[in-house]
Structures are given as C-alpha cells and as structure tokens.
Amino acid sequence: MDVLGRYGAELMQLHHDWDRSRFISPGPTTPVMYSNYLRNQLGKPDVIVLVAEVDGVTAGYVYASLEGPDYMALRGPAGVIYDIFVAEAHRRKGVGTALLNPVVEGLARLGASQVVLSTAHRNDAGQRLFASMGFEPTMVEMTLQLF
C-alpha cells in the first residue's frame, strides 16, 4: 500500500505538470493519505484495486468501482476507472494493458454494462492505450481560468 500511495502522488504530479492551473499538486502527506484511502476501499464489494508486478517489483496499479447512475455526468450505472498508473521504468511494455484487461473484466462481472474513465488532455500515451482497448471519447472537459 505504501508503494501505491507513492504512485498515487506521482499520478497527481504528472497531471499537475501537464496543467498547473487545472490540477492540484501532491503535498508531503499525499502518499500516506492516498495509501490510507485505498486501504479503506479494499474489501468493498464494488471496488477493484489491482497491482501489476514485474520481476517482484510493483510496476503499476488500477483503481475502479461500480457506480450507480450519475445525473451530473449524464450517465447510467457504470464501471468507473478512477486511476491507472504505470511506473516510468515499466511504461510501453504492456503493463497498462495487463491492468486494464482484468479491471474491465472485473467490472463486467460486477454487472457493469459500460466502463468510463477520464484522462488528461495531454495524456497522449494513455489516450492511445485506451483507444486501443476500444474506449471512445464521449466528453470533453473545458476550463476557463478566472485568476
């Protein structure tokens, strides 16, 4: 869980680096807070947290759950992938696919008829991966900075 906490903070930092005005930056307590958050999610019947290991090293993780209707998002019940992260040393080696396939299958077993996720506009590699797995763009978030 400590590694996943660090990876969650790295994921936040990646987003912040892509767009400092839109995404918050991790703080010194982020790894501990995130690992505690994920620990509290484990064991919930509609939550999936998977870890990829390569040669005994944690190479990445994915966190998802089954959600009911979300009227603000204009969608019915769905599997939602909140986070997927692959450590830099393991990127472009199939780890992302190895995480996505079982999480999608797991969400389907939980009853999801669709799976949704959000990705940063500048996350070209992630978008290519998601498209290769059959994900299609359905929403575009737009931001207006007021100050």
pLDDT digits (tens, 9 = 90+) for 39-93: 999 999 999 999 999 999 999 999 999 999 999 999 999 999 999 999 999 999 9
Counting residues of the chain whose pLDDT is more than 70, the rounded percentage is 100
Structure tokens at 136: 């299609």
Helices 30-41 and 2-18, axial angle in degrees (round to 10): 120
Kind and range of the H or E run holding 84: strand 78-86
- Which domains are seen in the chain, by residue range? 45-132 (3.40.630.30)
**Where would I find the H helices in the chain?**
2-18, 30-41, 95-109, 124-132
pLDDT, average across residues 4-9: 97
Query: What is the average pLDDT score of the chain?
Result: 97
Q: What is the pLDDT of residue 85?
A: 98
What pLDDT is recorded for position 27?
A: 97
Sheet-wide strand order for 57-67:
47-54, 57-67, 78-86, 115-117
* 109: its two tokens: 């077993």
* Torsion (CA) 143, 35, 64, 46 in degrees, nearest 10: -130
Which pLDDT belongs to residue 67?
A: 97
* Per-residue model confidence (pLDDT) at position 4: 97
Q: In this predicted structure, what is the pLDDT of residue 114?
A: 97
pLDDT band per the 50, 70, 90 thresholds, residue 105: very high
